[in-house]
Amino acid sequence: MLNQKTIEIIKSTVPVLEVHGEQITTVFYKTMFENHPELLNIFNHANQKQGRQQRALAGTVYAAAKYIDNLEAILPVVNQIAHKHRSLGIQPEHYPIVGKHLLIAIKEVLGDAATDEIINAWADAYGVIADAFISVEADMYDAAANQKGGWDGFRPFIVANKVEESEVITSFYLKSVDGNEIATFKPGQYISVKLEIEGEDFTHIRQYSLSDAPGKDYYRISIKKEAGMETPDGKVSNYLHSSVEEGEVLSISAPAGDFFLDTEKETPVVLISGGVGLTPMVSMLNTVADLQPEKEVTFIHAAQNGKVHALKDEVAATAAKAKVNSVVFYDQPTEEDRQNNSFDVEGYVTKEWLKEKVNLEQSDFYFCGPVPFMKAINAALKDLGVTEDRIHFEFFGPMASLEV
């Protein structure tokens, strides 16, 4: 437990952190990677470049500082991050490395303002926060390894099937090399894929949502080819699309994540996706069709046009056999799309449309897509009076704020 004095010091440094938080975490990463380049095997280089990881970590540090005497209050956030950490293979021995470099960074950025008293208080506070993560993660490691078909760390999976779903999205069907059972998952969860790309100094780990229902002898992930080979995300997704063929073996960690469909609830659900954000939604849709075919589902998908619209036939087939109303939005339909009537609405998913077409009083809303899309959906649902407990979403990559 922290003493009262330490708690006061921590709380009084929150405004300073809010001013310098990002600068501190930027210095922190730079110094940490200089001293521990091996950690570049775990961290996503793309997130570092875009500064998103810095913002995510800075945000968590403020939250922790504000709630240092009541960490229970941020348990949902800890839980979400711990899922990601478990999926990446973060271990207790990594925490002191992060702690040490965080303190070095605070000292460097704050200069004389970082008195010994402040630094010591932060060292103590970091210890408390780290212990909270380590303990939640230990339970998650146990659960992942001990579940039926589960495992610890990374397990080899063979690409059994590779299917082009659109001009930009390709599915990979992954089967365990050992032929043994694979852990089940909740629709909406993701796996991590660890890649060694020839000519690269470090491994790349990426999370991909599972895009089919659980209960099969494979996991399916559907990956978007990102533009530009020069960006780390571009490099990884292009490598998967162009160089990973059927028969190739990939290292996969057990399913993780706290964004998933509640399959106990009988009330209607509205699944809304933009672009490749459809992958967890298709998993949810296929699961409902398997387990709760009587449940009322509205499946809303927004894409630019038919060329980039993935899993279209699969969604249509599922919709036909369950109580699913599938609605397709294109904001830039092609002439061919018009001729084939391959979309329902031209434009974006708007508040007015939602107000008119979906059950706002009873439904749970799940959504995933690019950040601006998610901001618009989140704002619309709130304006329409949908309560927070019925709003569920997932970001690609590090968490961001949905406030507009």
Q: Which residues are the active-site residues?
A: 95, 137
Q: Which is nearer to ligand HEM, 149 or 153 (CB)?
A: 153
Residue 318 marked ligand-binding: no
Q: How many other C-beta atoms can be found within 10 angstroms of the C-beta atom of residue 328?
A: 20
Q: How many other C-beta atoms can be found within 10 angstroms of the C-beta atom of residue 44?
A: 21
Q: Which is nearer to ligand HEM, 94 or 357 (CB)?
A: 94
Q: What is the identity of the amino acid at 316?
A: A
Least CB distance to ligand HEM at residue 201 (A)? 16
Ramachandran class of 287: left when φ > 0, alpha when ψ lies in -120 to 50, beta otherwise: alpha
The packing angle between helices 52-66 and 75-88, to 10°, is 140
Q: Is 11 helix (H, G, I), strand (E, B) or coil?
A: helix
Tokens in use for 336? 């061919």
Q: How many other C-beta atoms can be found within 10 angstroms of the C-beta atom of residue 65?
A: 22
Exactly one of 20, 85, 194, 241 binds ligand HEM (CB under 6 A); which one? 85
Q: Which is nearer to ligand HEM, 194 or 312 (CB)?
A: 194
DSSP 297-346: EEEEEEES-GGG--SHHHHHHHHHHTTEEEEEEESS--HHHHHHT--SEE
Helix-, strand-, coil-residue percentages of the chain, each rounded to 5: 50, 20, 35
Number of residues that bind ligand HEM (CB under 6 A): 23
Decide if residue 74 touches ligand HEM (CB under 6 A). Answer: no
Q: Which is nearer to ligand HEM, 36 or 216 (CB)?
A: 36
Query: Binding to ligand HEM (CB under 6 A): which residues in 86-145?
Result: 88, 90, 94-95, 98, 129-130, 133
Residue, CB closest to ligand HEM: 44
> Residue 162 forms beta bridges with which residues?
172
Among 1-9, 49-57, 210-218, 365-373, which window interacts with ligand HEM (CB under 6 A)? 49-57
Q: Which is nearer to ligand HEM, 53 or 283 (CB)?
A: 53
Residue 218 marked ligand-binding: no
Residue 398 marked ligand-binding: yes
> Residue 210 forms beta bridges with which residues?
221
Which residues would be at the binding site for ligand HEM (CB under 6 A)? 39, 42-44, 47, 53, 56-57, 60, 80-81, 84-85, 88, 90, 94-95, 98, 129-130, 133, 398-399
Q: Residues forming the annotated binding site for FAD?
A: 190, 206-209, 395-398
Q: Residues forming the annotated binding site for NADP(+)?
A: 275-280
Q: Residues forming the annotated binding site?
A: 85, 190, 206-209, 275-280, 395-398
